[in-house]
Amino acid sequence: MGLTGRVSSVLAFLRAGYPSGAPALGYAPLLALLPRRVSDDEVTTIATKLAALERGPITNVDVGVAITRVTDELPSVGEIERVRRRLSAMGWAGRPQA
């Protein structure tokens, strides 16, 4: 495999792990500035832990605190909503309270 083939395989490897939401072209150092997003696995874990508490309605504050414990960052409204949707899909009665 020549140099071109090796470079192509390295680029293919890097592109496979390129985060969604990042521009296809641009400066790689800007990737460090992208906000962290709660993964689907983390959303499931957070929702499962909240549902297991079995203590009255789950508030947005409860969801936000659980997200912060996982990410060490303040959650966005979208992240809170993702956990709320997961709780609903798990059969949790009602929407979490504000």
Task: Indicate the SS3 state at residue 65.
Answer: helix
Q: What pLDDT does 31 receive? A: 65
Delimiting residues of CATH 1.10.10 domain(s) in the chain: 40-89
pLDDT-based confidence at residue 20 (cuts at 50, 70, 90): low
For residue 83, how many other CB atoms are within 10 A of its CB?
A: 26
Does domain 40-89 fall under CATH 1.10.1220? My reply is: no
Question: How many whole angstroms from its chain centre is CA 45?
Answer: 11
* Residues linked to residue 97 through DSSP beta bridges, in sequence order: 59
> Has residue 96 got a pLDDT over 50?
no
Percent of the chain surpassing pLDDT 70: 72
Largest CA distance in the chain: 64
User: How far is residue 63's CA from residue 59's CA, in Å, rounded to a whole number?
Assistant: 6
Which pLDDT tens digit goes with each residue over 21-57?
A: 666 666 666 666 666 789 899 999 999 999 998 778 8
Q: For residues 28 and 22, what is the distance between their CA atoms, to the nearest angstrom?
A: 10
Q: What's the pLDDT score for residue 95?
A: 47
Q: 94 falls in which pLDDT band (50, 70, 90)? A: low
